[in-house]
Structure 1
Amino acid sequence: MKLLEFIPIKLTLLLVLGILTGYFINTGIRLPFMLTLVSLSILGILLFKQKKAIGVTFGIIAACTTIFLGILIFTLAQPKNATDHYSHITSKGSETWKLKITEVLKPTSFSHRFIAEVMHYQTKKASGRIILNLAIDPIYGKFNVDDELIVLADKVDIKPPLNPHQFDYKNYLEQQGVYHQIYLNRHNFLRYDHPVRTLNGYTAHLRDKISAQLAQANFGEDEFGIIQALFLGQRDDITEETYTAFKKAGAVHILAISGLHIGIILLFLEFLLRPMELLPKGKVLKLIAIVFLLWGFAVLAGLSASVVRAVTMFSFVAYALYLNRPSNTFNILALSMFFILLVIDPMLLFNVGFQMSYAAVFAIVWIYPLLQKFYNPKPWVVKKVWQLLSVSIAAQVGVLPISLYYFHQFPGLFFVSNLLIVPFLGLILGMGIIVIVLVLMNLAPDSLIGLYNSVIGLMNTLIDWVAQQEIFIFQNIPFDSIQMVLTYTFMIALIWMIHTFTFKRLVSVLLCIICLQIWSLYKQDSTQNKEQLWIAHQTKNSILMHQSGAHLTIYTPDSASSTRIISDYSIKENIHTTTYQPLANAFSLNHSRLIIIDSSSVFLESDEYPDFVLLTQSPKLNLERLIDSLHPGVLIADGSNYRSYIKRWAVTCDHKKIPFHYTGEQGAFVLKLE
Structure 2
Amino acid sequence: MFTWIPYAFVRIVVFFIAGILAGLYWPVSIPPLYAILALLVLIGAYFVFTWRHLRYEKTINPGVFGLVAILFAGFINVQLRDPRIWHSHLSHERDSVEAYVATVRAAPQRKDKTWKVEVSLNKIRTSLGWKKSEGKLLLYLPHTNFAKPPEYGDVLFIEGTPASVPPPANLGEFDYKKFLSYQGIYHQHFIRGKLVVIAHAPPSFFIDQAIKARHWAETNLARYVDGTRERGIAIALVLGVTDGLDRELVGAYGATGTLHVLAVSGLHISIIYMIIAWILTPLNRSTNGKWTVAAISIVILWSYAFITGLSPSVLRAVTMFTFVALAKPWKQTINIYNTLACSAFLLLLFDPQMIMSVGFQLSYLAVLGIVYLHPKLYERFEPSSRVVDEIWKVTAVSIAAQVATLPLGLYYFHQFPNYFIISNLLVIPASFVVLIAGILVLALSWISFVASVLGCLLMWVIKIMNAIVFLIESIPGSVTDDIFFTTFQAILLALLIVSLLCLFERKQFGYAVLSFCIALTLGGSRWVYHFTNIAQQRVSVYNVSKHAAVELVNRGQSLFLTDSVLRDDTKKIDFHITPSRLMFGVYAAKSDSLVTKRVDGGKLFIWCDKYFLWLDHKPQQEIPKLSVDYVLVSNNAMSSLEAIRNVTARRVIVDSSNSFYLAKRLSDEAQKQGVDLVAVSQQGSYHETIDL
- After TM superposition, the score normalised by the length of structure 2 is 0.89
The structure-2 alpha-carbon separation of the partners of 1:424 and 1:631, relative to structure 1 and needing over 3 Å to count, comes to: closer
Q: Residue 45 of structure 1: CA displacement?
A: 2.4
CA distance in 1, matches of 2:151, 2:408: 35
Aligned to 1:251: 258
Match of 1:32 among 32, 35, 44: 35
The structure-2 alpha-carbon separation of the partners of 1:326 and 1:244, relative to structure 1 and needing over 3 Å to count, comes to: farther
Q: Residue 445 of structure 1: CA displacement?
A: 5.0
Match of 1:97 among 75, 83, 100: 100
1:57 corresponds to which letter in structure 2?
A: N
Q: Residue 44 of structure 1: CA displacement?
A: 2.3
- For the 8 Å contact 2:440–2:454, the answer to whether it is kept is no
Match of 2:309 among 302, 308, 315: 302
- For the 8 Å contact 1:153–1:188, the answer to whether it is kept is no
Deviations 1:533-567 (A, max 9, x none): 22112244322223344444433354444743443
The structure-2 alpha-carbon separation of the partners of 1:488 and 1:327, relative to structure 1 and needing over 3 Å to count, comes to: farther
Partner-residue secondary structure (3-state), 1:537: coil
Unaligned runs of 5+ in 2: 597-602
The structure-2 alpha-carbon separation of the partners of 1:37 and 1:310, relative to structure 1 and needing over 3 Å to count, comes to: same
Aligned to 1:45: 48
1:408-423 to structure 2, matched below 5 A, reads 408-423=414-429
1:663 aligns with 2:667: no
The structure-2 alpha-carbon separation of the partners of 1:218 and 1:54, relative to structure 1 and needing over 3 Å to count, comes to: farther
- For the 8 Å contact 1:152–1:189, the answer to whether it is kept is no
Q: Which stretch shows the higher mean deviation, 166-175 or 236-245?
A: 236-245
CA distance in 2, matches of 1:284, 1:351: 33
Q: Residue 492 of structure 1: CA displacement?
A: 0.9
1:182-581 to structure 2, matched below 5 A, reads 182-187=189-194, 189-193=196-200, 198-217=205-224, 219-325=226-332, 328-341=335-348, 343-440=349-446, 442=448, 444=450, 446-527=452-533, 530-558=536-564, 559-561=567-569, 563-564=573-574, 565-581=576-592
Partner-residue secondary structure (3-state), 2:104: strand
2:355 corresponds to which letter in structure 1?
A: L
2:25 corresponds to which letter in structure 1?
A: F
Deviations 1:300-346 (A, max 9, x none): 112121111111111122233332349711221122222221x2211
Deviations 1:371-408 (A, max 9, x none): 12321223222222111110111011111111110000
The structure-2 alpha-carbon separation of the partners of 1:218 and 1:39, relative to structure 1 and needing over 3 Å to count, comes to: closer
Aligned to 1:599: 617
Q: Residue 475 of structure 1: CA displacement?
A: 1.0
Q: Which stretch shows the higher mean deviation, 48-57 or 306-315?
A: 48-57
CA distance in 2, matches of 1:3, 1:357: 26
The structure-2 alpha-carbon separation of the partners of 1:633 and 1:513, relative to structure 1 and needing over 3 Å to count, comes to: closer
Aligned residues: 671
2:593 corresponds to which letter in structure 1?
A: P
The structure-2 alpha-carbon separation of the partners of 1:643 and 1:430, relative to structure 1 and needing over 3 Å to count, comes to: same
- For the 8 Å contact 2:98–2:160, the answer to whether it is kept is yes
Aligned to 1:630: 647
- For the 8 Å contact 1:589–1:673, the answer to whether it is kept is no
Q: Which stretch shows the higher mean deviation, 560-569 or 70-79?
A: 560-569
- For the 8 Å contact 2:46–2:66, the answer to whether it is kept is yes
Deviations 1:232-258 (A, max 9, x none): 221112233322222222111111001
1:572 corresponds to which letter in structure 2?
A: M
CA distance in 2, matches of 1:144, 1:566: 36
Q: Residue 464 of structure 1: CA displacement?
A: 2.2
- For the 8 Å contact 1:245–1:464, the answer to whether it is kept is yes
Deviations 1:606-659 (A, max 9, x none): 66654542211333x563542433365654322233567556656765775656
Deviations 1:188-219 (A, max 9, x none): 54432565652222111121123223333352
Unaligned runs of 5+ in 1: none
CA distance in 2, matches of 1:326, 1:578: 59
2:469 corresponds to which letter in structure 1?
A: I
1:46 corresponds to which letter in structure 2?
A: F
The structure-2 alpha-carbon separation of the partners of 1:546 and 1:240, relative to structure 1 and needing over 3 Å to count, comes to: closer
The structure-2 alpha-carbon separation of the partners of 1:219 and 1:489, relative to structure 1 and needing over 3 Å to count, comes to: same
Partner-residue secondary structure (3-state), 1:439: coil
Partner-residue secondary structure (3-state), 1:617: coil
2:633 corresponds to which letter in structure 1?
A: L
Deviations 1:156-215 (A, max 9, x none): 122222222111111111121111112223435443256565222211112112322333
CA distance in 1, matches of 2:179, 2:201: 33
- For the 8 Å contact 1:618–1:642, the answer to whether it is kept is yes
Q: Residue 603 of structure 1: CA displacement?
A: 9.0
1:613 aligns with 2:656: no
- For the 8 Å contact 1:265–1:426, the answer to whether it is kept is no
The structure-2 alpha-carbon separation of the partners of 1:525 and 1:661, relative to structure 1 and needing over 3 Å to count, comes to: closer
Partner-residue secondary structure (3-state), 1:113: strand
Deviations 1:82-126 (A, max 9, x none): 3442323x3434443221112245434432111112233344443
Aligned to 2:83: 79
CA distance in 2, matches of 1:377, 1:196: 55
CA distance in 2, matches of 1:634, 1:512: 43
- After TM superposition, the score normalised by the length of structure 1 is 0.92
The structure-2 alpha-carbon separation of the partners of 1:453 and 1:665, relative to structure 1 and needing over 3 Å to count, comes to: same
CA distance in 2, matches of 1:608, 1:545: 23
CA distance in 1, matches of 2:590, 2:559: 5
Deviations 1:118-169 (A, max 9, x none): 2333444433210011222466631122211122321112222222211111
The structure-2 alpha-carbon separation of the partners of 1:213 and 1:590, relative to structure 1 and needing over 3 Å to count, comes to: closer
- For the 8 Å contact 1:556–1:582, the answer to whether it is kept is no
CA distance in 1, matches of 2:604, 2:59: 72
Partner-residue secondary structure (3-state), 2:167: coil
- For the 8 Å contact 1:146–1:198, the answer to whether it is kept is no
Q: Which stretch shows the higher mean deviation, 76-85 or 443-452?
A: 443-452
The structure-2 alpha-carbon separation of the partners of 1:408 and 1:603, relative to structure 1 and needing over 3 Å to count, comes to: farther
- CA RMSD, Structure 1 to Structure 2 (Å): 2.9
Aligned to 1:118: 121
- For the 8 Å contact 1:233–1:302, the answer to whether it is kept is no
CA distance in 1, matches of 2:362, 2:203: 36
CA distance in 1, matches of 2:44, 2:139: 45
The structure-2 alpha-carbon separation of the partners of 1:71 and 1:451, relative to structure 1 and needing over 3 Å to count, comes to: same
The structure-2 alpha-carbon separation of the partners of 1:54 and 1:612, relative to structure 1 and needing over 3 Å to count, comes to: farther
CA distance in 1, matches of 2:170, 2:39: 41
Partner-residue secondary structure (3-state), 1:212: helix
Deviations 1:8-59 (A, max 9, x none): 1222211121112122212342232221121112212223444489964312
